[in-house]
A and B are shown apart, each in its own frame.
Chain A
Amino acid sequence: MRPLDWVVLAVSLAGIVLYGLWRGRGSDTTQKYLLAGKTMPWYAMALSIMATQASAITFISTTGQSYVDGMRFVQFYFGLPLAMIIIAAYVAPRFHASGVYTAYEYLERRFDARTRALVSVIFLIQRGLAVGVALSAPALVLTVIMGWPSEVTTLLMGLTVIGYTVSGGIAAVTWTDFVQMLVMTLGLVAALVTALWLSPVDLGGALQVAGAAGRLNPAVWTFDLNDRYNVWSGVIGGMFLALAYFGCDQSQVQRYLTGKSIAQAKLSLLFNAVAKIPMQFFILFIGAMVFVFFTFTKPPVVFDPGVQAKAEQTAGYEAVEREFNVAWNARRAAAEALPGTEAEFKAAQKAMDVARAKAATLAGHEGLNDTNYIFLSFVTRYMPVGVVGLIMAAIFAAAMSTISAEINSLATVSVIDVYRRHLRKEADDRHYLRASRWATGFWGMYAVVTAQYATNLGSLIEAVNMLGSLFYGGLLGVFGLAFFYPKVTGRGAFYGVLLGEAAIFATRFGTEITFLWFNVIGCLVVIVAGVMISALERRGTAAAE
């Protein structure tokens, strides 16, 4: 990073934080602090929803995923528009009309306090685990770029977010998300333009190279339960995951609960239904173009600088590097001769992958996973001055928008569903406002601490999605019961969730079925079990009478 990059980064971040503090002023009641007084316009909520989902992981890991695996990850979002339609039509109006602070508060009105408590705890565990991962990703950036210890970087990032989130509540979070999304969009455009500009081939040539490498595969129709990304798992599994995330996860529900009307909330959801897939396509396309760039410019054997440095210290590294260089030269020659040399290109690519795996083994890492370092390596080594700072600002903006929404929602559930419901039922509004601020600060610090343990989870985006999928099926099932099965009782819902979670964990640890299907399985088990238990309960009651 050169001085201009630092200036761009510092000005962007300072501007975002100050804007958040300014927008969050006047949050002097619990309702204003947690729901922004229900005054938000659709465009602020729309970009806030998008920014909350687009974390730093989206930038760092998704681009890397496209580099190594192609664009098929975009299919993961195919179910999102369908989920948004269902949420806009059935979920958002009910939440909005019921005047709840949290999605889980609605469950007590529909079922009982026990079901609300169980689902709130599931959310706190699941989101609490994910918030550390969300914070560790940008910390990884700073550790790689500046060599700062990750403890320092997570603390710095965390304190910045805690500052404006504690101070201004959800109004600060939503409006900073809005600006952060604009910064992210600028950063994405800059990254794509620069990647294309730095490549020695034009767009047609770049598409030919990326296609020869099998990186341009946004639609794969092969049906396979064990394959993570294809059209079927994307539409069905992705829809269930999106339903759970946008319809049952407080970090997203809270965004559209702040809307000034139901129509505004619906519009914010439907904007995401339309905009999300093109945005992910765009990000993945950047990864494919980085692949093209490294077809003509020699990449490091291993992108993770730590693993690379360790490998270089070993006796066998020189031979592996020679092997890698021969394969890379063969791949470049094949790329320059395209079309007609696809087989040679693929053979050379395979030889490069073998050499990379050998280097990782030399460094003591069985199974190479440097996905998270690819985009960063490209940005810091090859991007022009100023653009590096802008992309770093975009990565930070992405991280901050996700973390602020997560700690804000964790605090809301802690105060509304646990503290106010079970621990301190009668207190004045100022007390709960103070409690909300303290809870926000607590969850922020918790995120900082857990982030220390999250850096070794492999591809971070998959880790987050995998974690979510262990719990989302249960959440989705119980909300499905609440909205669409009026005869289901509190007992049916409670035990249904427990059985659904048991089914998900059995699937995760007992089969090879990929995580996108966990939501489908968990949700269906909750619904079937909930309906059956309720029917038995009704029959028992009728017999007793």
Chain B
Amino acid sequence: MNEEQEGPPVFGSWRRIYWAVGLYLVAVIVLFSVFTRVFNR
């Protein structure tokens, strides 16, 4: 296989992994916002 086209070990394609990482970031920011709202006075 062409080295450039070597796929990732999970999610099937690099594009899907990038989307997963982007969604993860959104989830982290939402989680931190909730954390701040609940605990910070």
Interface residues in chain A, defined as those with a beta carbon under 8 Å from any beta carbon in chain B: 70, 74, 78, 81-82, 84-85, 88-89, 93, 97, 207-208, 210-212, 214-221, 231, 235, 261-263, 266-267, 270, 273-274, 277-278, 281, 342
**Shortest beta-carbon contacts, A-B, top 4:** A219-B32, A211-B39, A263-B6, A218-B32
Q: Show 28 A/B contacts (Cβ-Cβ < 8 Å), sorted by A.
A: A81-B21, A81-B24, A85-B18, A85-B22, A88-B14, A88-B18, A89-B18, A97-B3, A210-B39, A215-B40, A218-B32, A218-B35, A218-B36, A219-B29, A221-B33, A231-B29, A262-B4, A262-B6, A266-B14, A267-B8, A267-B9, A270-B17, A273-B21, A274-B21, A277-B25, A277-B28, A278-B28, A281-B32
- Give, as a whole number of angstroms, the nearest-CB distance from B8 to chain A: 7
Residues of the A chain whose Cβ atoms lie less than 8 Å from the Cβ of B39: 207-208, 210-211, 216
Query: How many contacts A-B (CB < 8 Å)?
Result: 74
| B33–A81 CB distance below 8 A | no
In the bound complex, residues from chain B placing their C-beta under 8 Å from that of A270 are 17, 21
**From B28, which residue of chain A is reached at the shortest CB distance?**
A277
Bound CA–CA A215/B8 (angstroms): 39
Residues of chain B lying within 8 A (CB to CB) of residue A219: 29, 32-33, 35-36
B17 neighbours in A (Cβ, 8 Å): 270
A263 contact from B8, B24, B28, Cβ within 8 A:
B8
| Chain B residues within 8 Å of A97, by CB | 3-4
CA distance A281 to B29 in the complex (A): 12
CA distance A220 to B9 in the complex (A): 36
In the complex, what distance in Å separates the CA atom of A477 from the CA atom of B12? 33
Closest to A207 in B: B39
Please give me the residue from chain B that is nearest to A339 by CB atom. B41
Q: Which of B4, B25, B32 contacts A81 (CB 8 A)?
A: B25
Residue of A nearest to B37 (CB): A219
Q: Which of B7, B9, B17, B40 has the most CB of A within 10 A?
A: B40
How far does the alpha carbon of A217 sit from the alpha carbon of B40 in the complex, in Å? 6
CA separation between A358 and B33, bound complex, in Å? 35
A82 to B19, CA, bound (A): 10
In the bound complex, CA of A220 to CA of B29 (Å):
10
Question: Which of A81, A217, A261, A266 has a CB less than 8 Å from the CB of B36?
Answer: A217
Q: Who on chain B is nearest to A221 by CB? A: B33
Q: Is B4 a contact partner of A93 (Cβ separation < 8 A)? A: yes
- Cβ 8 A contact of A214, one of B3, B24, B40: B40
Residues of B within 8 A of A220 (CB): 36
Complex CA gap A85/B40 in Å reads 31
Q: Which residues of B contact A235 (CB under 8 A)?
A: 29
Report the nearest A residue to B30, measured CB to CB. A219
| Min distance, Cβ B24 to any Cβ of chain A, angstroms | 6
User: A81-B22, A274-B21 known; 5 other A-B pairs, CB under 8 Å?
Assistant: A70-B40, A85-B21, A88-B14, A208-B39, A216-B35
Q: Which residues of B contact A217 (CB under 8 A)?
A: 36, 40
Chain B residues with Cβ under 8 A from A89's Cβ?
14, 18
Q: What chain B residues lie within 8 Å of A216 (beta carbons)?
A: 35-36, 39-40
B20 vs chain A, min Cβ distance (A): 9
CB pair B41 A212 closer than 8 Å:
yes
- In the complex, which residues of chain A have a beta carbon less than 8 angstroms from the beta carbon of B4? 93, 97, 262
